[in-house]
Copies of this chain bind each other. A is one copy, B any other.
């Protein structure tokens, strides 16, 4: 989930200096529009890893924006006053009114996450606390509030580097407390709790944005950009809604003269298109971080393949005995070598015990059901291996990019997929998700080769060429997939596939490692 925020993205100082005055202007402008329309409050929430720049970003935003319409709130131990009331009383009383922005630090997410990390709450209680958050944010968003949530991320190593650096400098050493180091030592537990939090509370109305927190310039511009864009979008939506209500009200005027929506009265002509133009930040995808030069010699490959397959065969016999099922799924660009990798894997298994399910266009019967139904029906009995050649991720890949699924449909699919996969892993199934990747140039080479090989020509269609044109869209879709669905229990395995030999070995070896770990888990 956090892999997309460990790419080392940076903005050079010089670029930041150029961008900063524009950003300030853009934010002041959007703040003014928000104030004039005064239709909803904006709640901006910061959470994440210590040292990820939560405080610094909030300070910078306070510098950039107009303080009259901005409040910042941070929460420590509850006061006497606060302890006398239900927990959420302090959050309710600090909510910004319509037209204002509230920045929240160590907010309603702090206690639930810390209680879980320190094992004061079990998972079910933790989920209950997250439910309370969901209900709270849901009520506010339904009432029109715009809620933006930023998760400022640092990797374990990066956090250590940062704490050490702060500690060494005399002027900043006070900022590092023993508690910070304590947290660093339980980074893994913290990450697991964070992952569950983000997965469960990232809703359409109040989604999390994971921000790479290493570079202060990159992170503050990223946050500033999103705040500006989202407020602009929300103002636009509120204005459209008010116009519709106004029309409705006009129609009903005779019948219902008093019941007019107050919003309708101030609807017209005040939400303006933003005047300040900011060019988008350069961003990197998780695929761009892969080392595509990885490769194996023919003889190395042959040797390793034999070893791996033998090992896999043994491991799977054990799995069968222990009734541990495996589901492997393969995604990747056309011609990435998914089929070849699958064949090398199944060769190590007994045909009675695995099943390969190629996913193409749905049948009529499948079309008459929820899109997940076709995958549920293919789940095998205990101990078996089920291999999906393409999978339920089509919803957030091809259907998203080609517009076959509406934005609403593919956006909610992440949560549906996570829920589905949680049911699989909760049941004890080992789930492995492979993205077999190739570079755009390598794909071109392979397409050309296919055209020239008679027995492979049928594999290449017009559609393959068309998909190629949308290469960047697909890459961003994969980035979002990894961000939303790569979890502790079901992480994505990104396979560097320019060298087919390397890819095949990596696929089988990862399978072996994960299966072995799973077998050891199981007493």
Contacts and interface: CB of A to CB of B under 8 A. Distances in A.
Contact of A369 (B85, B95, B259): B95
A92 B377 contact: yes
Given A86-B427, A124-B128, A135 B419 contact: yes
Contact of A88 (B87, B99, B423, B429): B423
A38 interface: yes
A128 B123 CA distance: 9
Interface residues of A, number: 60
A377 B93 contact: yes
A143 interface: yes
A140 B376 CA distance: 14
A98 B368 contact: yes
When all copies of this chain in the complex are counted, the total is 2
Contacts of A88: 376, 423
B415 A86 contact: no
Contacts of A114: none
A139 interface: yes
Interface of A: 38, 41, 81, 84-89, 92-93, 95, 97-99, 122-125, 127-128, 131-132, 135-136, 139-140, 142-143, 145, 256, 258-259, 323, 325, 365, 368-373, 376-377, 379, 381-382, 402-404, 409, 412, 415-416, 419, 423-424, 426-427, 429
A93 B98 CA distance: 47
A368 B404 CA distance: 40
Contact of A81 (B95, B381, B423): B381
Given A124-B128, A128-B124, A93 B376 contact: yes
Contacts of A135: 415-416, 419
Contacts of A412: 139, 142
Contact of A368 (B97, B373, B381): B97
Nearest to A408: B142
A157 to B, nearest CB: 34
A38 B377 CA distance: 22
